[in-house]
Chain A
Amino acid sequence: MTREGWIRLLVIAAAVGALEIACRTGWIPMTVVLPPSAMATSLWDILVSGTHWNDILVSLRSVVAAAVIAVVLGFLVGAVIHAAPVVRGAVEPLLASYYAVPTFMFYPVFIILFGVGPGAIIAIAVLLAIVSMISATLVGLDRIPTVLGKTARIMRLGPVERALEISLPAAMPYLFTGIKLSVAYAFIGVIASEFILSGAGMGYAIAYAYNNFNNREMYGLMLLIVLVVTVVNTALDTVDRRLQARLRR
Chain B
Amino acid sequence: MTVVALAEVASVMPADDHHARLAGVTRVFGRPGSPNCVHALGPIDLDLRRGEFFSVVGPSGCGKSTLLDVLAGLAKPTEGTAEFEGRPIDGVPAGVGVVFQEDASFPWLTVADNVAFGLRRAGVDAAEVTRRVDYAVGFMGLKAFAGAYPAQLSGGMRQRVCIARTLVMQPRLILLDEPFGALDQQTRLLMGDELLRLWRETSATVLLITHALDEAAMLSDRVGVMSARPGVFIDVLETGWDVDRDSRIVSHPRFGDLTGHLWEKLRAESLKHMREN
Contact = CB atoms under 8 A, between A and B. Distances in A.
B98 interface: yes
A249 B103 contact: yes
Given A155-B121, A249-B103, A169 B150 contact: no
Interface in A210-249: 245-249
Given A156-B92, A157-B121, A147 B104 contact: yes
A65 B101 CA distance: 45
A177 to B, nearest CB: 15
Interface in A105-164: 145-148, 150-151, 153-157, 161
B149 A153 contact: no
B106 interface: yes
A166 interface: yes
Nearest to B109: A169
A148 B97 contact: no
B108 A248 contact: no
B117 interface: yes
A73 B149 CA distance: 31
A38 interface: no
Interface in B139-166: 149-151, 158
Nearest to B94: A156
B127 to A, nearest CB: 22
B234 to A, nearest CB: 28
Interface residues of B, number: 22
Interface in B75-126: 91-92, 94, 96-98, 100, 102-104, 106-108, 117-118, 121
A71 interface: no
B74 interface: yes
Given A245-B151, A246-B151, A249-B150, A153 B92 contact: yes
A173 to B, nearest CB: 8
A172 interface: yes
B41 interface: no
A247 B149 CA distance: 10
A169 B108 contact: yes
A157 B158 CA distance: 22
A132 B158 CA distance: 33
A147 B159 CA distance: 13
A150 B107 contact: no
Given A157-B121, A170-B108, A147 B92 contact: no
Contacts of A165: 121
Given A170-B107, A246-B108, A154 B149 contact: no
B57 interface: no
Contacts of B158: 249
Contact of A154 (B74, B108, B151): B74
A64 to B, nearest CB: 26
A102 B150 CA distance: 43
A150 B106 contact: no
A166 B106 contact: yes
A206 B117 CA distance: 53
Contacts of A154: 72, 74, 92, 96-98
5 contacts: A147-B104, A155-B117, A156-B91, A247-B151, A248-B151
Task: State the 9 A-B residue pairs at the shortest beta-carbon distance, nearest first.
Answer: A147-B102, A169-B108, A246-B107, A147-B104, A151-B104, A154-B98, A248-B151, A147-B100, A246-B151
Given A150-B98, A156-B91, 8 more contacts: A148-B104, A151-B100, A157-B121, A169-B108, A246-B107, A246-B151, A249-B150, A249-B151
